Chains A and B, each alone.
Chain A
Amino acid sequence: MSSNVSVTSSIINSPICGSLEPGSHSVQFYRNDEFLVDELSRLLGSALGSGDAAIIIATKAHREQVGKLMKARGLDIGVAARQGRYVCLDAAETLAKIVVGGWPDAGNFIRVIGEVIGGARAATLRAEAQVVAFGEMVALLCAEGKSEAAVQLEHLWNDLASIHSFSLRCAYPLNAFSRSGQAGSFEKICAAHSHVIPSERFTVLASEHERLRTISHLEQKAEALDAEVAERKKVELSLMRREAEFSDLLENAVMGVQQVGADQRIVWANRYLLALLGYSPQEYVGHLISEFHAKREIFDDFWQRLMDRQNIYDFPAELRCRDGSVKHVLIHSNGLWENGRFVRTRCFVRDVTEHRQMELALIQSEKLASVGRLAATVAHEINNPLASVMNLVYLARNEAPSPSSQNYLEEAQEELERIAHLTKQTLGFYRSEGAVAPMRLSSIVRSLAAMLSPKISNKRVRLMIEDDGDPEIFTTPGEIRQLFSNLLSNSLDAVGQGGTIRVRISEVHEWSNSGAPGMRVTIADSGCGIPAENRARLFEPFFTTKEEIGTGLGLWVCKRIVEKHQGTIRFRSDTRPGQSWTAVSVFLPQLGGGTSALGAAPLRAA
């Protein structure tokens, strides 16, 4: 409600509403304060002028404007007020005396308002005098959105009429009911009144003819509005449904979707993206997108492209997850521009972390394979000169020259054997025993134990070999001997004096290998264990922790032999001091008939 009311001399003529029937309870709707003030000044002025009482319960602005206008019309309201015939009350203050817990209280109302009416009547000093009241406490309640409380207050006024005789005018600004949803409370308010007076737009119409014409116009307008509202509701409903569908589609996309505003803050992100990165909506939406990019310079480049109005496809980036890990993603994105101004991005984010890891693993294994190929080639090329030199040294020794050159030749011979050992560790299993034959693994392991017995007894190592059922298995014995020779030698190197090595051979089904039947050999030692940082590199060629004596080829060769046999090799280890151990477990499937499967796939250098 505006409090700046300008009262002009061009007062609107109000032929039908300037007076009140005795005992009536009318409601006046209005558009302009100016009109209301004029209307009230006439209503209250005519009551005061004819010796009746007038009560105004209104906002300060309305009270002042009405008083001013009555004075301007020559009415001495000061005298009337002093006589008690003219009562001015503040609507908000009066309402506060009546309302309890947000609702008008009947007892309070009768006491407060009853007193005011009784007092005003008494002040007229005439038994037949009328009391004319204007109140807008109801309008205040309505403006606060408490239309139900307003209706209740209207009823209290009606109830008061059975105790006191008065005429009441209420007023509501029409804009208090500008929403279609308020039709119900509007109707209830009208029903609580004996007379309803439309706003100034219609009350100023002079003739019946004009009024009928206006009503017809209004009817047409209402009809059109009803139809339009219905149509809009339909459109709104279908829009809402579409929006729900789109949002459902985006939420359920198996791809990250997000919008980022011009301020680089995340406007919205779908469920997939949040789940991918592990954030709750509160932890992500509203934050700067750059916070989540692992590499600032990459983000800056990305943003610059967007600002250059590029459509970005498959842009590789790294996003930081809540747990600190990084996801490799590809981003499609472009900007939404309105009137040359950047509004927001639409980003589609694809997770390629797994793919990238596989790619890296592939590159790594390619690298290792080529290193392995190189090693094997070099080893082969060494064999011929080595064979020549070995023969030459042998012949020279047999020529029996001086004792000192005998010594030199002996040493040369030892060095040659070291080279021969190196090449054989990588290539030794390509030997004549390459043929597939049925073998018992326990007999291979036991013969190796016999071969290693000097070292075993030297270190006072307890070696236990257990087997529960050891059927023959088709293998290439030379390769299998090399495999277990390397593994047993490693265990022997790992255990200290008096350590333990336990070998267990059992017939099993390998469930991780589609339940294939075969043999498992587990070699467990009480050695120092394999430190976590070395575990990933165990099978790399030339990776060794035994710098003095290791070639770094033993386990690399083991892995290739196991792979050739379509088996698996796994390490488990514990490095806790005092309880450290390592167990290597080799599974070799029983290849039905064996010969063809292995025979057709001779082991190559890499």
Chain B
Amino acid sequence: MRGMAHRVLIVDDERRIADTSALILQGVGFQTAVAYDGACGIDRCREFQPHLVLTDVVMPGMSGIEMAITIHREFPQCAILLISGQAATADMLEAARRQGHSFELLAKPVHPNVLLQKVAQILKASDAVAVTK
């Protein structure tokens, strides 16, 4: 995995969460980029071309789900993992599902070990998909 370091974009309006999550992922060899709101997230995604976007859901301005839908349309191969601490998320997810976008969600707070495990699992699956393609 180190040879072909995966790129992970982290989007969270809580800067400290975004920055520390990036550091944790870097610690195990991922290339990371951060953004602090949805619009910037989309911009960074275009530049950075991540394999995976980790995003908070409830953010001022564009929500994580709106952003995820846009990214999903533009970069269908990019995996997306939502992380949320809010109950309202269930409604938003359901709305996205009705539009044909199904996203995985983790509840905050996520222990770094769990996060690393989940990220590795998602990237392994998307690699497998990429290989079969």
The CA of A423 and the CA of B86, in the complex, are separated in Å by 11
Q: Which of B30-38, B61-69, B87-95, B125-133 contacts A (4 or more CB under 8 A)?
A: B87-95
A602 touches B90 (CB 8 A): yes
Tell me which residues across on chain B come within 8 A of A398, comparing CB atoms.
27
Main secondary structure of the interface of A (DSSP, over half): helix
B87 touches A604 (CB 8 A): yes
State whether A391 touches B87 (Cβ < 8 A): no
Q: A384 to chain B: which residues have CB within 8 Å?
A: 14, 17, 85, 108
CB-defined contacts of A434 to chain B, threshold 8 Å: 90, 93, 105
Can you list 17 pairs linking A and B with CB atoms under 8 Å apart? A380-B86, A383-B109, A386-B108, A387-B17, A387-B109, A388-B14, A391-B112, A392-B16, A394-B113, A395-B24, A427-B85, A427-B107, A430-B107, A432-B106, A434-B90, A602-B87, A602-B90
A-B contacts besides A417-B111, A605-B87, 17 pairs, CB < 8 Å: A384-B14, A384-B17, A384-B85, A386-B108, A386-B109, A387-B14, A387-B17, A388-B14, A388-B17, A390-B110, A391-B17, A391-B20, A394-B112, A395-B23, A432-B82, A432-B106, A604-B87
| Residues of the B chain whose Cβ atoms lie less than 8 Å from the Cβ of A380 | 85-87
The reply to whether B90 and A603 form a contact with Cβ atoms under 8 Å apart is: yes
Cβ–Cβ contact A603 & B24, under 8 A: no
User: Which among A376, A392, A604 is the interface contact of B20 at CB below 8 angstroms?
Assistant: A392
- When distances are taken between beta carbons in the complex, the residues of chain B under 8 Å from A376 are 87
B55 within 8 A of A: no
Contact in complex: B108, A387 (CB < 8 Å): yes
Q: Which residues of A contact B110 (CB under 8 A)?
A: 387, 390
Quick one: closest B residue to A434, CB to CB?
A: B90
Determine if B108 and A391 form an interchain contact, defined as CB atoms under 8 angstroms apart.
no
The reply to whether B17 and A602 contact each other, CB–CB distance below 8 Å, is no
- CB nearest to A398 among chain B residues: B27
Q: Identify the closest chain A residue to B92 (Cβ).
A: A602
State in angstroms the CA–CA spacing of A604 and B94 once bound together: 14
Q: Decide yes or no whether B47 CB sits under 8 A from chain A.
A: no
In the complex formed, the residue of B with least CB distance to A604 is B87
- For chain A, residues 417 to 463, give those with C-beta under 8 angstroms from any C-beta of chain B: 417, 420, 423-424, 427-428, 430-432, 434-435
**Bound CA span A395–B28, Å:** 12
Query: Out of B82, B90, B94, B97, which one reaches A430, CB within 8 Å?
Result: B90
Output the nearest chain A residue to B13 by Cβ-Cβ distance.
A384
Q: Are A428 and B107 in contact (CB under 8 A)?
A: yes
- Bound-state CA distance A376–B86 (Å) is 9
Q: A388: which B residues are within 8 A, CB to CB?
A: 14, 16-17, 20
Report B52 CB to chain A, min CB distance, Å: 16
A327–B93 Cα gap in the complex (Å)?
Answer: 51
- The 6 nearest A-B residue pairs measured at CB: A383-B85, A391-B20, A432-B105, A602-B90, A387-B109, A394-B112
Bound together, the chains give a CA A424 to CA B17 distance in angstroms of: 19
Which chain A residues lie closer than 8 Å to B104 at the CB level?
A: 432
Q: How far is the CA of A434 from the CA of B92 in the complex (A)?
A: 12
* A373-390 CB contacts (< 8 Å) to partner B: 376, 380, 383-384, 386-388, 390
Least Cβ distance of B97 to chain A in Å? 8
List residues 577-606 of chain A with CB under 8 A from any CB of chain B: 599, 602-605
Q: How far is the CB of A395 from chain B (nearest CB, A)?
A: 6
User: How far apart sit A446 and B61, CA to CA, in the bound complex (Å)?
Assistant: 44
**In the bound complex, how far is the Cα of B20 from the Cα of A420, in angstroms?**
18
A605 vs B89: C-alpha distance in the bound complex, in angstroms? 11
- Chain B residue nearest to A428 in the complex (CB): B107
Residues of B within 8 A of A432 (CB): 82, 93, 104-107
Residue ranges of B at the interface with A (Cβ–Cβ < 8 Å): 14, 16-17, 20-21, 23-24, 27, 82, 85-87, 89-91, 93-94, 97, 104-113
Q: Say how far B118's CB is from chain A's closest CB, in angstroms.
A: 10
Interface residues of A in 291-325 (CB under 8 A from B): none
Contact partners of A394 in chain B: CB under 8 A = 20, 24, 111-113
Report the minimum CB–CB distance from A431 to chain B (whole Å): 5
Chain A residue numbers with a CB within 8 Å of B86 are: 380, 430
Q: Which of A420, A603, A604 contacts B109, CB < 8 Å?
A: A420
Residues of B within 8 A of A420 (CB): 109, 111
Alpha-carbon gap, A423 to B113, bound state (A): 19
Q: Is the CB of B91 within 8 A of A431?
A: no
Q: Which residues of chain B come closer than 8 Å to A387, judged between CB atoms?
A: 14, 17, 85, 108-110
Shortest Cβ gap from A71 to chain B (Å): 122
Q: Are A391 and B90 closer than 8 Å at their CB atoms?
A: no
Q: Roughly how many angstroms separate A418 CA and B50 CA in the complex, as a whole number?
A: 34
Separation of A383 and B109 alpha carbons in the complex (Å): 6
Residue of B nearest to A387 (CB): B109
B17 touching A431, Cβ below 8 Å: no
Given A384-B85, A390-B111, also A599-B94 (CB < 8 A)? yes
Complex contacts, A390 vs chain B, CB 8 Å = 109-112
Cβ contacts under 8 Å, B106 to chain A? 431-432
**Chain A residues within 8 Å of B90, by CB:** 430, 434, 602-603
Please state if B107 and A424 are interface contacts (CB–CB under 8 Å). yes
A525 CA to B81 CA, complexed, in Å: 41
A424 to B106 alpha-carbon distance, docked (Å): 12
- Closest residue of chain A to B89 (Cβ to Cβ) is A430
A44 to chain B, nearest CB (A): 119
Which residues from chain B contact A383 at a C-beta distance below 8 Å? 85, 108-109
In the complex, what's the smallest C-beta–C-beta distance from B8 to chain A, in angstroms?
Answer: 14
Task: Name the CB-closest residue of A to B90.
Answer: A602
Please indicate which of the listed interface residues B21, B104, B109 has the most CB atoms of chain A within 10 Å of its own CB: B109
In the complex, how many angstroms separate the beta carbon of B57 from the nearest chain A beta carbon?
Answer: 11
Chain B neighbourhood of A392, CB < 8 A: 16, 20
Residues of chain A with a CB closer than 8 A to B14's CB: 384, 387-388
CA of A517 to CA of B107 in the docked complex: distance in angstroms? 33
Cβ of B96 to closest chain A Cβ, rounded Å: 12
In this complex, which of A388, A391, A605 has the most chain B Cβ atoms within 10 angstroms of its Cβ? A391
* A214-249 near B? 1/0 per residue, CB < 8 Å: 000000000000000000000000000000000000
Closest A residue by C-beta to B106 = A432
* CB of A362 to closest CB in B, whole Å: 24
Q: How far is the CB of A553 from chain B (nearest CB, A)?
A: 15
Q: How far is the CB of B91 from chain A (nearest CB, A)?
A: 5
